[in-house]
Amino acid sequence: MYEIIEGFLEAFRLIITFDPDVIAIAARSIVISLTATIFATLIAVPLGAAINFGTFPGKKNLVNLIQTLYSLPTVIVGLLIFLLISRVGPFGFLRLLFTPTAMVIAQTVLILPIMTGLTISALSGVDPVIRDTLRSLGATRLQFLVNILKEARFAILAAVAVGFGRAISEVGAAILVGGNIAASSFASSTRVLTTAISLETSMGNISQSIALGIVLLIIALGVNLAITTVQHR
Amino acid sequence: MYYDIYLIAMYKRTIFAVAAVMVALMLICGCTGTTTDPTPAEKQQLRIATTTSLYDTKLLDHLTPIFEEKYNAEVLIVSAGTGKALEYGQRGDVDVMMVHDRAREDTFLADGYGTDRRVFAYNYFVLVGPESDPAGVKGMQPEAAFTAIRENGMAGNASVIFVSRGDASGTHSKEQAIWKAAGFNYSTEVKGSGDWYQEAGTGMGATLEMANEKEAYTLSDIGTYLAYKGDLDLVTLVDEGDILLNVYSAMQINPEKFPDTNSTVAKDWVNFLISEDIQKEIASFGVDQYGQPLFYAAQNDWEKIGVNEAEVKDPVA
């Protein structure tokens, strides 16, 4: 019990004094996961729209597959990306293993299914009256898409938030392809909140772990607040 | 009309989004060191895979700033255990391996994956366990102590537990060597032989924490044990026996196998470790904090630890 209380006190001290290590790790987590979320959004939204509005055989099975991949285990994504970008792997010449770029790739792959699936749900949830009205007014294909996307923007935003949340909270892929490196420069390091918590706990630095955990929760809270604010505007 | 205006707005937004992504990309690319670096002279990157003991004791945290300053390089360290470090080396994913498993290092070198091994430090393994010592192994020879732990465990003495690293690390290899020396077949008579033998599958520090929670015995290098001792209730029970010697070496991956490896800075690192100044740093590391050294310098003790003189003294050409 003493350990937990002392851990929390020390954690608050680390946060309030803007401990440079904690800040750097938190900032790196945000940069990496945000970049992954942007890439995933750019792929998932058009892909989700194409699947939702397209008619092709096996569509139902495809949607089922995407929904199954919601729970894609992070270590499996990590392993897959590791094998692809390791020097002896097909993309080894890029020398990406143990870089933040590798982590962005892994997180993008990880959150792609859930963001695509939630985009499909968002688009299919748009009031059919709006769809029929747009069609009857003779909207072109693009006009139709743009307006449906506009209608569904809050639900899509929620999909983006879910994607970001999954990216920043995962640890399996981050440690396999990132290597949890603490280098002297910000940009070469691959230590993020989750991998740092894992390491610090194993090293018995409980207060550092608690501080990083609190920061992770604050980030999650911040993202949620931002989304709610936008939705209620 | 409405749509046209709307579409233009959308295009603008798209362009903005693309620009944002490109900025993000540039930021990320900067990280890989493939594009421009903010520092005037291009910094060389050195990727090291290390056994966890050198990392968990913070010895590498102590040495890397000295190296980075001297060679204008950036050191990236992946701490993973000897088995994984050699695996990374074999795949060409790092430039230098820092390991402690002579037998596997020999195979690694013979297979042509590594080159220019240099021995830079040594210390000893210790058998640690709860103060109550339920198997009564205190002061025994390592082989006898292992035998006693196994006998108690097999006989169903529930308070006797041995936590193994179980991760193909150098420490795990040493543990297997001790079981073998004690006359047991590791894979049939030890591993999986009962609840008394538990595999942690993790680094040295984490394994010590686990043994501490379970009031169990475990084999540790003395360096990591001393660095963690403050948080642990475990005590040293066996620390004498030739088999407990623990020799650390560094080698670079073979540039002939992986031609685009950063071979120069890898050599610099290996030579740095066996330089006189750094040998002194290694020998004195932790003395002020723990009252005794965590590692001994290998340079003048090559005979004692059974390696040849060239391995501790000759700089890599």
Is residue A113 one of the residues assigned to a domain? yes
Q: How many helices (H) and strands (E) does chain A have?
A: 11, 0
β-pairing verdict for B44-50 and B73-79: parallel
Residues of B in contact with A87 (CB under 8 A): 91-93, 258
Residue A33's CATH number: 1.10.3720.10
Tell me what pLDDT residue B208 has: 95
User: What's the CA gap between B232 and B129, in Å, rounded?
Assistant: 10
Q: Examine the pLDDT at A36 and tell me if it is beyond 90.
A: yes
B206 to chain A, closest Cα gap in Å: 5
Structure confidence by residue, pLDDT tens digits, B169-192: 999 999 999 999 999 999 999 999
Tell me what pLDDT residue B307 has: 92
Q: Examine the pLDDT at B33 and tell me if it is beyond 50.
A: no
Residues of B in contact with A95 (CB under 8 A): 32, 34, 260
- DSSP strand E in B159-258: where? 162-164, 197-199, 218-221, 235-238, 245-253
Q: Determine contact: B5 vs chain A, CB below 8 A.
A: no
Tell me what pLDDT residue A232 has: 77
Is residue A70 one of the residues assigned to a domain? yes
Residues of A in contact with B28 (CB under 8 A): 31, 35, 100-101, 104
Q: Determine contact: A22 vs chain B, CB below 8 A.
A: no
Q: Determine contact: B75 vs chain A, CB below 8 A.
A: yes
Dihedral pair phi/psi, residue B99, rounded to 5° = -140, 175
Structure confidence by residue, pLDDT tens digits, B199-230: 999 999 999 999 999 999 999 999 999 999 98
User: What's the CA gap between B31 and B309, in Å, rounded?
Assistant: 40
Mutate to test the interface with B, among A185, A200, A206, A208 (most CBs of B within 10 A): A185
**Nearest CB to A98 within list B27, B29, B93:** B93
Note whether B104 and B242 are within 8 A (CB). Answer: no
Tell me what pLDDT residue B30 has: 45
Query: By 3-state DSSP, what share of chain B in percent is helix, strand and coil, each rounded to 5?
Result: 50, 20, 35
3-state secondary structure of A45: helix
Q: Which homologous superfamily is B44-122+246-313 in? A: Periplasmic binding protein-like II (3.40.190.10)
Q: Determine contact: A230 vs chain B, CB below 8 A.
A: no
pLDDT confidence bin for B261, thresholds 50/70/90: confident
Tell me what pLDDT residue B260 has: 79
Q: Where are the alpha helices (DSSP H) in A69-202?
A: 74-85, 100-124, 128-136, 141-151, 153-169, 172-173, 193-202
CA-based torsion, B176, B181, B187, B193: positive or negative: negative
Which residue is it, tokens 């936008």? Answer: A230
Inspect the interface and report whether the beta carbons of A204 and B77 lie closer than 8 Å: no
Question: For residues B6 and B282, which has the higher predicted lDDT (pLDDT)?
Answer: B282
Is residue A227 one of the residues assigned to a domain? yes
Structure confidence by residue, pLDDT tens digits, A51-91: 999 999 999 999 999 999 999 999 999 999 999 999 999 99
Model-level pTM? 0.84
Stretch B284-310: mean pLDDT: 93
User: What's the CA gap between B214 and B210, in Å, rounded?
Assistant: 6
Number of domains in chain A: 1
Inspect the interface and report whether the beta carbons of B21 and A39 lie closer than 8 Å: yes
pLDDT confidence bin for B24, thresholds 50/70/90: low
Is residue A16 one of the residues assigned to a domain? no
Structural domain of residue A111, as residue ranges?
2-11+21-231
Q: Examine the pLDDT at B37 and tell me if it is beyond 80.
A: no
ipTM for this prediction: 0.82
pLDDT confidence bin for B36, thresholds 50/70/90: very low
Is residue A184 one of the residues assigned to a domain? yes
The reply to whether domains B44-122+246-313 and B124-244 share a CATH topology is yes
**Exposed, middle or buried, A192 (CB in 10 Å: 0-12/13-18/19+)?**
buried
Q: Examine the pLDDT at A175 and tell me if it is beyond 60.
A: yes
Cβ neighbours around B219 below 10 Å, total = 26
B309 to chain A, closest Cα gap in Å: 33
| A144 → chain B, closest CA residue | B3
Inspect the interface and report whether the beta carbons of A187 and B78 lie closer than 8 Å: no
Q: Examine the pLDDT at A4 and tell me if it is beyond 50.
A: yes
Dihedral pair phi/psi, residue B304, rounded to 5° = -60, -40
Tell me what pLDDT residue A84 has: 97
Domain boundaries, chain B: 44-122+246-313, 124-244
A94 to chain B, closest Cα gap in Å: 10
A30 to chain B, closest Cα gap in Å: 12
Q: Examine the pLDDT at A171 and tell me if it is beyond 50.
A: yes
**Nearest CB to A35 within list B28, B93, B231:** B28
Stretch B280-301: mean pLDDT: 94
Stretch A144-163: mean pLDDT: 92
**Nearest CB to A101 within list B31, B205, B231:** B31
Q: Which homologous superfamily is B124-244 in? A: Periplasmic binding protein-like II (3.40.190.10)
A156 to chain B, closest Cα gap in Å: 16
Dihedral angle, C-alpha B227, B232, B238, B239, nearest 10 °: 10
Q: Examine the pLDDT at A3 and tell me if it is beyond 90.
A: no
Q: Determine contact: B56 vs chain A, CB below 8 A.
A: yes
Residues of B in contact with A182 (CB under 8 A): 77
Which residue is it, tokens 């639900």? Answer: A155
Structure confidence by residue, pLDDT tens digits, A100-145: 999 999 999 999 999 999 999 999 999 889 988 998 998 888 899 8
